[in-house]
Structure 1
């Protein structure tokens, strides 16, 4: 699924696809992505790419949770063909 990154922190990042909010934990990112706490805005960086607010990413949903008013999902990028793109 293609999503837009809305928030990045040391625990991972949030992305949105329409009304669906997706959280991708830092444990579900490829091992070469490292969080850069001194970057402004915060970002995850690898040797070839970065994940920052406003960036498009391709991810896979691994779980969902439905509340009374919202739907939340957990995503991963630890597979082939997933990651940031433009």
Structure 2
């Protein structure tokens, strides 16, 4: 059920939430997408473990599909053998 606007005088007015799928992600969103901090993400990009971005005018963008491919490659070579290996 949609949330309602608070303090607007009409408590029953729904807020329209629109989810838009994105193919390109900015740095913070790309790091969040793969589940790491921006600092770690930057290091992974420098080391070649994550893809390089591209520019659309002044926007620096990471391609979601390339992030998926890089993440898949990382998970294939670094799967832990047991829960004890996670620490």
State if a TM-score over 0.5 links the two structures.
Answer: no
TM-score, normalised via structure 2 length: 0.27
TM-score, normalised via structure 1 length: 0.27
Larger radius of gyration: 2
Question: 1 or 2 for the larger relative contact order (CA 8 Å, sep ≥6)?
Answer: 1
Structure with the higher fraction of residues in helix conformation:
2
Structure with the higher fraction of residues in strand conformation:
1
